[in-house]
Amino acid sequence: MTSPAPKRQRIEDAPITRSNIWYDDGSVVLRAEKTEFRVHWGVLAQHSTFFHGLRGLPQPPDQPSVDGCPLVELQDDAVDVEFLLKALYTPTFLSQAALPLVAVGALIRLGRKYDFRDLLDSAIVRLTFENPRTLEEYDTLATSAGAYKPTRILPYQGLTFDIISLVRENGILSALPSAYYRVAQTIPLIIDGMQRADGSVASLAPVDLRRCLLGREKLTHVQMQKGYALGWYRSWCPGNNCTGSHCVTTRDARLQGYLDRPQLKALGLFIPTSIINNRFCDACKQGIELLGIAGRTRTWDELPSFFDLPPWSELKDGL
Ligand SMILES: [Zn+2]
Handedness of CA 286, 289, 293, 298 (dihedral sign): positive
- For residue 6, the model assigns a pLDDT of 53
The residues of the chain that CATH labels 3.30.710.10 are: 7-127
pLDDT at 311: 97
CA 289 to ligand 1 centroid distance, Å: 12
Residues 69 and 38: beta-carbon distance below 8 Å: yes
What integer pLDDT is reported at residue 10 of this predicted model? 60
CA of 245 to the centre of ligand 1 (A): 7
What pLDDT score was predicted for residue 3? 45
pLDDT along the chain (319 residues), means of 10: 50 84 97 97 97 87 89 97 98 96 98 97 97 95 83 96 97 97 95 96 98 97 91 83 90 86 85 77 89 93 98 88
- 9: Cβ contacts below 8 Å, ≥ 6 apart: none
- Distance from Cα 269 to the centre of ligand 1, integer Å: 21
Residues with CB under 5 A from ligand 1 (ion): 238, 242, 244, 247, 281, 284
What is the CATH architecture assignment of 7-127? 2-Layer Sandwich (3.30)
d(CA 81, CA 36): 10
**pLDDT on residue 243:** 92
Ligand 1 center to 232 CA (angstroms): 14
What is the rounded end-to-end Cα distance, in angstroms, of the chain? 46
- Would you state the pLDDT for residue 175? 98
- pLDDT confidence of residue 1: 41
